Structure 1
Amino acid sequence: MTVESQPPRPRLAAGREHVVAKVGEIEPGDHKLVPIGRHGVGVYNVDGTYYAIANYCPHEGGPLCSGRLGGRSVTDERAPGGASLVEDGQYIYCPWHQWGFELASGTTAVKPEWTIRTYPVRVENDEVIVTA
């Protein structure tokens, strides 16, 4: 019995636009995983602003967009425990090891030289469009 291999999935051309949702389809604080590229792209609605980030953690290849949304902690001597949460909902945390990545830039405080790819998003005629 021979096993036929499937041809590799073609990569999308750089700069191609993809309509990924209608406005209102992705509620604030939620996301949609779309099959763009090798790992997919998570499209997030943060208080009406849309962000798109690759579904791949550079640490060990985890499915980044399966993680939780959150903010980042900063030192705040006035707050209980000495820390406050800021920029809530603007970071995605990898479900494997909890590395947090900023949705807008793809940067992480854990290892700043390891960023994850982000993609431009725009809204036009009630459509959310990602360029990837």
Structure 2
Amino acid sequence: MARHVVAAVGEIPPNGRKLVEVKGRRIALFHVSGEYFALTDRCPHEGGSLCAGRLTGLVRSNEPGRYEYSRPQEMLACSWHGWEFDIRTGQSYCDPESIRARIYPVSLEPGEALTKGPFVAETFPVSVDGQYILVEV
């Protein structure tokens, strides 16, 4: 899988998001509690934008009237029909056995790590003819 630079760290504020396109794929990036997550922008239910969805936490209940709230901002509700997905795994909470949103690995890299490599700039012969500089292409 090829790596692609999609944003600078400061472009996405805490609890923010950014929609990017990589090789024709729309990908929703989220910045939650100092971590970055990437999911396909298309809800597997009917294609709604996940980037436009609402982030919330996980609510569980073992008995009526008692609720436990955890994982703030890690549950994503589709903007169209509210189907919920875990931004860490893509797992659907509407149909966890068969539906999930595709996730993409995200990494933070220093700029110099991205520019290292066996890169060679293309060069062209240059000559001086009297008062003119000539480049041969």
RMSD: 2.2
The reply to whether residue 122 of structure 1 matches residue 107 of structure 2 is yes
What's the TM-score, normalizing by structure 2? 0.73
Per-residue Cα deviation, 1:87-118 (whole angstroms, up to 9, x for no partner): 11111110111111111110012101101110
Give 1:56 shift: 0.7
The reply to whether residue 23 of structure 1 matches residue 9 of structure 2 is yes
Query: Secondary structure at the residue paired with 1:19?
Result: coil
Of 78, 103, 111, 2:95 maps to: 111
Task: Trace 1:3-42 onto structure 2 (pairs within 5 A).
Answer: 15-42=1-28
The reply to whether residue 85 of structure 1 matches residue 59 of structure 2 is no
**Runs of 4+ with deviation above 2 angstroms:** 36-39
Partner residue, 1:11? none
Q: Aligned pair in 2 of structure 1 residues 70, 81: CA closer, same or farther (>3 Å)?
A: same
Give 1:38 shift: 4.4
In the alignment, the residues of structure 1 paired with residue 24 and residue 45 of structure 2 have an alpha-carbon distance, to the nearest angstrom, of: 17
In the alignment, the residues of structure 1 paired with residue 15 and residue 62 of structure 2 have an alpha-carbon distance, to the nearest angstrom, of: 25
Give 1:84 shift: 2.6
- Unaligned regions of 5+ residues in structure 2, if any? 115-137
In the alignment, the residues of structure 2 paired with residue 116 and residue 38 of structure 1 have an alpha-carbon distance, to the nearest angstrom, of: 17
Partner residue, 2:85? 101
Quick one: percent identity of the two aligned structures? 39
One-letter amino acid matched to 2:31: N
In the alignment, the residues of structure 2 paired with residue 43 and residue 36 of structure 1 have an alpha-carbon distance, to the nearest angstrom, of: 12
Partner residue, 2:59? 73
One-letter amino acid matched to 1:120: P
Q: Aligned pair in 2 of structure 1 residues 68, 55: CA closer, same or farther (>3 Å)?
A: same
- State whether residues 71 and 91 of structure 1, in contact with CA within 8 Å, keep that contact through their aligned partners in structure 2: yes
Higher relative contact order (CA 8 A, sep 6+): 1
What's the TM-score, normalizing by structure 1? 0.76
One-letter amino acid matched to 1:47: S
- Unaligned regions of 5+ residues in structure 1, if any? 1-14
